[in-house]
Amino acid sequence: MVTNKKQKNMAIQKTKGIIAILTGGGDVPGLNPAIRAVTIRANREGYKVIGLRRGWAGITELIRDTKADNSNNYQILTDDIVNKAGRTGGTFLHTSRTRPSHMSKSSVPEHLKDTYNQEMNDLTPEVIKNLEWLNVDYLIPIGGDDTLSYGVHLFKKGVNIVAIPKTMDNDVPGTDYCIGFSTCVTRTIQMTNSLRTSAGSHERLLVLEVFGRYAGFTAMLPTMAGAANRCVIPEYKFDIESLTKLLVEDRNANPSKYSVVIVSEGAMFEGGEMIFADSEKDAYGHAKLGGIGDLVSARLKDLSAKFNHGKTINIINQKLGYMVRGGDPDFLDSIVPMAYGNLALDLILKGVHGRIVVLKNGRYDNVPIDVVTSSKKVVKVSEYYNTERLRPYYHTFEMKPFLLMASDN
């Protein structure tokens, strides 16, 4: 990274170098283990580690004055600090959906309002100056495609970036696996199995809405594992009458008289579009999704009599949401973050940057970071999704990747 000697923060003395790390976007289990892995390895190798707080917000709001209170913007990370949090869920550095290159006038930090007073502002110059003031040699952002897209932007501006992929949706391009995905799938299966007892007791259809804006991996894998009879995903607009007919048939063939469908939040009716909770958009231009599970439930109930000898079937409708995001990581989201953190340090020790650490075909690797913004990762419908049966295909498993349709091949 290009540095300005006059703006050095002498409160942070350099050793072998300084590494900054941040977590952006939605929290997932596995973030703290990744922070722990980076910190312990970096400290052992002679680096100091700075935790940037609240995603891109902390480094944007930092005040370049040694007398200023920046405790809400960054902290020095030690082995003791990260060991306490390393086995827990969430992120102790906190997170946000801040996008410094697109900050509204009202979001600009108070001390910068005179300089950045447009309706939309690019605070990237301040971010770079703040990183220089902290003496940061390498920056490790942990996030999904939104958070990492800004990492790509910084890399193109000369910042030394080594990225770690994170998102429950598992839709960061270039990697088969993103931190948080395994725990999400595990919890979805567990909660579906818990709710099926009520569905069976009342002989109902069970509708579960899960995360997945553009990619249906979080619906597909639990369904393939047997948690649901059917699933509907963003990659294929579904016919509600076909879904109803299939679910009623599944229910009536089940001795316990229930059936289950998992609905991705980004799923769309045939002829329709995504369902949004409201019109407000985040800094990356995304409106909050919500409501497709409710609409599917209402339509299933209305149509059920048509396929059930004139008798209406009631619905249990549950949005899993943050219940699959919170809590401790499962074993994969404990092991993979450890490996990703060490992979990032392997690259830094070689002086390599502009890369994202990945898991490909069962092996750890790294690829150019701009893969995040140059491609999309979604379910390959023709290969993995049976559009007539509204469920995954169950064939040709030989020599397939470990995570099947969730791989990025």
Lowest mean pLDDT among 7-16, 331-340, 360-369: 7-16
Q: Say yes or no: 195 and 261 in one domain.
A: yes
Q: Say yes or no: 351 and 231 in one domain.
A: no
Residue 226 has pLDDT above 70, yes or no: yes
Q: How many domains does the chain have?
A: 2
Quick count: other Cβ atoms within 10 Å of Cβ 118? 10
Question: Per-residue DSSP letters for 327-375?
Answer: S---SHHHHHHHHHHHHHHHHHHTT--SEEEEEETTEEEEEETTHHHH-
CA distance 55 to 172: 17
Q: Say yes or no: 157 and 194 in one domain.
A: no
For residue 242, with 0-12 CB atoms within 10 Å meaning exposed, 13-18 middle and 19 or more buried, which class applies? Answer: middle
Q: Say yes or no: 253 and 398 in one domain.
A: yes
- Domain extent, residue 91, equals 5-179+330-374
Determine the average pLDDT of the residues in 370-389.
93
Q: Say yes or no: 150 and 239 in one domain.
A: no
Determine the average pLDDT of the residues in 291-307.
96
Report the CATH number at residue 398.
3.40.50.460
pLDDT of residue 256: 97
Q: Say yes or no: 253 and 188 in one domain.
A: yes
pTM equals 0.92
Q: Say yes or no: 100 and 41 in one domain.
A: yes
The CA-atom distances, in angstroms, between 116 and each of 48, 121, 130, 353 are 32, 6, 16, 30
pLDDT of residue 113: 96
Confidence grade of residue 5 (pLDDT, cut at 50, 70, 90): very low
CA distance 63 to 105: 18
Q: Say yes or no: 29 and 172 in one domain.
A: yes
C-alpha triplet 356, 233, 360: angle, nearest 5°: 25
Q: Say yes or no: 241 and 188 in one domain.
A: yes
Residue 363 has pLDDT above 60, yes or no: yes
Rg of the Cα atoms in the chain: 23
The phi and psi torsions of 139 (rounded to 5 degrees) equal -120, 130
The residue annotated as part of the active site, out of 27, 137, 145, 169, is: 169
CA distance 199 to 302: 18
**H or E element: which one contains 402?**
none
Active site residue 169: yes
Determine the average pLDDT of the residues in 97-106.
94
What digits encode the pLDDT tens for the residues 138-197? 999 999 999 999 999 999 999 999 999 999 999 999 999 999 999 999 999 999 999 999
Q: pLDDT > 90: what percent of the chain? A: 83
Q: Say yes or no: 134 and 252 in one domain.
A: no
